[in-house]
Structure 1
Amino acid sequence: MVLRIANCSGFYGDRLSAAREMVEGGPIDVLTGDWLAELTMLILAGNRLKGRPGYAVTFVRQMEQVLGACLERGIKIVSNAGGLDPEGCAAAIEKLGLSARVAHVTGDDVTGHDLDLVNLDTGERLTEPVLTANAYLGARPIAAALAAGADVVVTGRVTDAALVTGPGIWRYGWGPGDLDALAGSVVAGHVIECGCQATGGNYSFFGEVPDLAHCGFPLVELHEDGSSVVTKHPGTGGLVSVGTVTAQLLYEIGSPRYLGPDVVARFDTIALSQEGPDRVRVWGVRGEPPPGTLKVAVNYLAGYRNTMTLMLTGLDLEEKARIAQEAIWARVPRESFESVDVSFDPPLLRITVMDRDARRAGRAFSSAVVETGLASYPGFYGLTPPGDASPYGVYWPTLIPAADVRPRVIVGGEEVALPSSERPDPAVEVLVDPVAPRWDATGVPTVPAPLGRVAGARSGDKGGNANLGVWVRTPEEYGWLARTLTVERLVKLLPSLEGLMVERFELPNLNALNFVVHGLLGRGVAASPRLDPQAKALGEELRARMLEVPETFLR
């Protein structure tokens, strides 16, 4: 029998009714949800400082709606909604009074450890006081909780895919050496972790997606060998196709070696096929031993920020932007702030200041901008009223030896012993990187066209970096894409990337390329001055750029 694992949340703030829809829409065995984006840990830390819960309270509201039905039908619930307080979240569920056996997983909080605090992306060493530090735990604590009879498992910071891999280990008994099965489950978890992004949400070719307004959430039918089928409940809107699954596979990844605490999943070995309407089979995934370290998400409070946005219209926009800035800095010196970012993307001029002094970055700045209103460029008007500065935090990724982290599983108030943390021999076979097919452009007629007429794209954030995945539908188109869309060409098409380090990775099995743009988002989402701080629109910006495209591809 397959294990049907459904998703009901892709982020803190996702559709509240999704849990009920997944429980009532068709048969499932496990209900999961992902609440913990990198930014969410900082938001929860802010809540905790204000005396509010350090967990996702919306998850508890969902449990009020579905827990009774899940207990009746034997549906297990696995969620990382515990955030910074898994124990508190578990207690809130127990207070619902439905006699559920609730487990919580802790041990991810490593604020008391002697951390090296070297930034994975920049190599810098953190010297600021740490607000939160949470290691990304793996799937085995979740499996242990389920094996101990838990109906609900609430975790803190675990990898997003662990919400699927954990139930897979519980059902099929995979050991640390079952690398391919583990890797397959990680891929399945990555596909459904972001909710409707696997079923047509945020999809480049959105015209293909029926009834997007009522998009159904995804589920996977996970098999013992780690292969799976991605689907959704019948009668729901949206689309499950090779394209929608490919788009999600490219979301927020780096190298084709997708590192995790349980296994390294080789994304360059994934095979996809359309098995029927809204059914995509995922198989062939190979796994390698996990690294001896765990990633740690550190957050610290860096100061205060304020942004003012002005609209520029008509003629001579560059000159108007220059005059606007001269008038502002004449009233409040630019050098008085720790950091200033000015972005001019006509017709918007955005000026962001950051400083440890809340007063300096607050009204002293925003009022100075408003004061220029009658002594600046013609047509002056602003989109932001004067206001105080707001605190901001910085996400700081680092590593910790896996042996230094001790997960704890509490079921019904009692701690459950975890199995030995044996790790597979790192000397097992390591796969050879694939070679992209060659493309012979000799004699091929081309016409100018937007890249998006041929290619889809999906982009997102990973700390201060952005990833940009681009895919096409056929191997022939991929041969052209791999030859055409070099790093140099990408930077020419997207001048905002100029001067940044850009890596390119090839995924011929998915007819895709993945680019990682280092430093595009500065010090992370919460500190990024970009209008698009999570780089969500970067892929669509690229698709609008003109290239010489083979005529046959446009037919």
Structure 2
Amino acid sequence: MSAPSARRAVRVGNCSGFYGDRLSAAREMVDGPEPIDVLCGDYLAELTMLILAKAQAKDPAAGYAKTFVTQMRDVLGTCLAKGIKVVANAGGLNPSGLAAALDELGTGARIAFVEGDDLRGSLGDIVPAVEGKPVSANAYLGGWGIAEALAEGADVVVTGRVTDASLVVGPAAWWHGWTPADLDALAGAVVAGHVIECGPQACGGNYSFLAEITDRRYPGFPIAEVAADGSSVITKQPGTGGLVSTGTVTAQLLYEIAGPAYLGPDCTTHFDSIALAQEGPDRVAISGVRGSAPPPTLKVALNDAGGYRNSMTLVLTGLDIEEKAAWAEEELFAILGGRSRFADVDVRLLRFDRPDAPSNDQATAHLRITVKDPDPRLVGRAFSNATMELALGGYAGFHTTTPPGAESAYGVYRPAAVPRSAVTHTVVLPDGTRRTVADPQVGEQPPARPEVAAPVAPEGPSERVPLGRICGARSGDKGGNANVGVWTRTDAEYAWLRGFLTADTARELLGPEAAELPIEVFALPNLRAVNVVVHGILGEGVASSVRPDPQAKGLGEYLRSRVVDVPAALLGP
């Protein structure tokens, strides 16, 4: 089966942004009034691979996203009747197992799967060299295996660890008959895939400018209409909540990126070439995207078993908060035999209290104590029960947020790379035929594009206001790093932001935890945006981070809350 002869845009609808997302989204997308050609879903994240590895260690037949099977049980018959293809990375660590589970649904669907990303059996070529035995080791594959499966008539294609954007790149390449040399078109599809990969985030979910979201129902899930030249329109099913605007699309474009050159397995996408335009209500056009050759290596995500940890949170109320906290810490570790008994200790005093508080809860602070160690017995009840010895012999008002609990295992994320020659990108077709997917022509990362002349900021008096008065933000995690994409809505606002938000200013505004960390700032003038990358703020990744916000989801909103000097001319009446 070849691609459709018509060269209209292919309509790809998303029904999942993570493992655990809204189950009904698949049905809502398939039954919506806007017809789609492909239903896609993203189920994998760095933390998800660790979760699936734990499940597979208990049951070798596991290792895939079981919620996807639930969704397909509900909609696969409808998809077949309507001619809707299904593409998802829900295969995780066991795409063949997921394909078998889908076949057992008895729909008669032609099911293909993509594998080759799992490197646990061949770690030797990974850079830097792998020590020990990681619980997961996955290269990020591209979209050509998906495209080949669709070209051979598959109704459903499930994969392991492909890039999130590949779920759109593969179908678009099949539909339009692209080749690996169509770099600009591929880059355009990468951008469209990046926008819709997180589901309702593109439709008003997690959006900074709350007043713009006049429809406060649960946001709809996004649809990407990808044209033959790679340009696209982002929309959603009519009648669903939220909105699709240049603002919501900008916010998602800035999510979990670094520099303007976005490296991928199929191409390098230049985010500083993207142009956005509001085409109509809930319709945003994306054009102008430029692509260049992909790098000679593939990204690899490694997850190790890090050990065990436990946390207890002590509540402090009223006066002498810092003195009470210091006494509690001193007493507790004396009971435990010293801090040095543990491989790692993290103590954080979280201040929510205020003087002369109008209610009891507003007079409280939290002392959060976390211990880590390879020995589960050391950080289990032996640790948490010890906090109870402070109940009658510690500071006034002692109580905890939870009763003593047991230890839990945690993982450590490590980013790495591998030569393409060490990875066999394989597609298994519905009839069982196995094919190796050829690598595209690669190239070294191109030099950074010269930045256009810095815009001139408004002059005149300033006012002290929260940064969020004129700036939106979207933040997230990439391993141990966090990024905060900050954007404005007018050229004049961007002119000020570009000059204001330097690495030093970002470090100051983000507070003590960023004071000693490397920070990079990248300008994206086409999006009126600045991307701030904070290296190391999440330690060894979300699975081991002890930050209260381990994925940095709230870091952007914290930055927006900081009061700064903004030109009065930008603030309006």
Does 1:501 find its partner at 2:518?
yes
Preserved CA contact (<8 Å) 1:145 1:416: no
Contact in 2 for aligned 1:436/1:506 (Cα 8 Å) = no
Residue 421 (str. 1) matches residue 455 (str. 2): no
- In structure 2, C-alpha distance between the alignment counterparts of 1:55 and 1:373, rounded to whole Å: 45
CA shift, 1:18, in A, is 0.2
Q: The residue matched to 1:226 in structure 2 has which SS?
A: coil
How far residue 87 of structure 1 moved from its aligned partner, in angstroms, is: 0.5
- Residue by residue, what CA displacement relative to the aligned partner does 1:244-284 show, whole Å, maximum 9, x if unpaired? 00000000001111100000100111100100000000010
Unaligned runs of 5+ in 2: 1-7, 352-364
Alignment of 1:56-71 (within 5 A): 56-71=65-80
Question: Counterpart in 1 of 2:4?
Answer: none
Report matched runs for 1:170-185 at 5 Å. 170-185=174-189
Equivalent position of 1:351 in the other structure: 369
C-alpha contact (below 8 Å) 1:274/1:280 kept by paired residues: yes
After superposition, the Cα gap between the structure-2 partners of 1:284 and 1:396, relative to the gap in structure 1 and judged at 3 Å, is same
Structure 2 residue 26 is matched with structure 1 residue 8: no
- Quote how far apart the aligned CAs of 1:114 are: 3.6
CA contact (8 A) 1:82 1:88 kept: yes
Query: Which of 468, 471, 475 is the matching residue for 1:459?
Result: 475
Equivalent residue runs for 1:187-202 within 5 Å: 187-202=191-206
Q: Determine the C-alpha separation between the residues in 1 that align with 2:152 and 2:417.
A: 30
- 1:232-251 → structure 2 map (5 Å cutoff): 232-251=236-255
1:526 aligns with 2:540: no
Instruction: Return the TM-score normalized by structure 1.
Output: 0.96
Q: Alignment identity in percent?
A: 58
The answer as to whether partners of 2:427 and 2:437 remain within 8 angstroms in 1 is: no
**Aligned pairs for 1:21-420 within 5 A:** 21-25=28-32, 26-51=34-59, 53-115=62-124, 117-118=126-127, 126-332=130-336, 333-346=338-351, 347-418=365-436, 420=438
1:210–1:276 Cα change, 3 Å: same
Give the C-alpha shift of residue 413 in structure 1.
4.0
Q: Which of 437, 440, 461 lines up with 1:445 in the alignment?
A: 461
Decide which of 420, 429, 449 is 1:432's aligned counterpart: 449
Deviation readout 1:16-50 (Å, 9 max, x if unpaired): 00000000002000000000011000000111122
TM-score by length of 2: 0.93
Q: 1:67 is matched by which residue type in structure 2? A: L
In structure 1, list runs of 5 or more residues that go unmatched: 120-124
Q: In the alignment, which of 521, 545, 554 is matched to residue 562 of structure 2?
A: 545
Q: String of CA shifts for 1:519-540, please: whole Å, max 9, x gaps.
A: 1111010000111000000000
d(CA) in 2 for partners of 1:298, 1:100: 33
Letter in 1 for 2:326: R
Task: Pick closer, same or farther for the CA change 1:199–1:391 going to 2, 3 Å.
Answer: same
1:375 is displaced (CA, Å) by 1.8
- 8 Å contact from structure 1 (residues 458, 468) kept in 2: yes
Q: Retained in 2: the 8 A contact 1:30–1:77?
A: yes
Q: Deviations over 1:31-78 (max 9, x none)?
A: 000000110000001111222721001000000111011101110000
For residue 504 of structure 2, the aligned residue among 488, 493, 499 is 488
- Give 1:438 deviation, angstroms: 3.0
Range with greater deviation from structure 2 (313-322 or 173-182): 313-322
Please give the per-residue CA displacement for 1:269-300, whole angstroms capped at 9, x wherever unaligned: 11001000000000101111100000111111
Shift of 1:435: 2.6
**1:122 matched to which residue of 2?**
none
Q: Are the aligned partners of 1:177 and 1:424 in contact in 2 as well (CA < 8 Å)?
A: no
Q: Secondary structure at the match of 1:341?
A: strand
CA distance in 2, matches of 1:399, 1:109: 13
Separation of aligned partners in 2, 1:519 and 1:471: 23
Q: CA deviation at 1:313?
A: 2.1
Deviation at 1:424, TM superposition (A): 5.1
Q: Give yes or no for contact 2:139–2:300 (8 Å, CA) kept in 1.
A: yes
Output the CA distance in 2 between the equivalents of 1:435 and 1:374: 65
> What SS is found at the alignment partner of 1:467?
strand
2:380 and 2:62 mapped to 1: Cα distance? 28
* CA positional deviation for 1:422: 3.9
Deviates more, 1:28-37 or 1:173-182: 173-182
Please list the CA deviations of residues 171-228 of structure 1 after superposition, one character each: whole Å capped at 9, or x if unmatched: 1121111111010000000000000000000000122113333311000110000000
Q: Give the corresponding residue for 2:25.
A: 18
- RMSD in angstroms over aligned alpha carbons? 1.5
Q: Deviation at 1:349?
A: 1.5
Q: Is the 1:144–1:418 Cα contact (8 Å) retained in structure 2?
A: no
**How many equivalent pairs are there?**
548
Amino acid aligned to 1:81: A
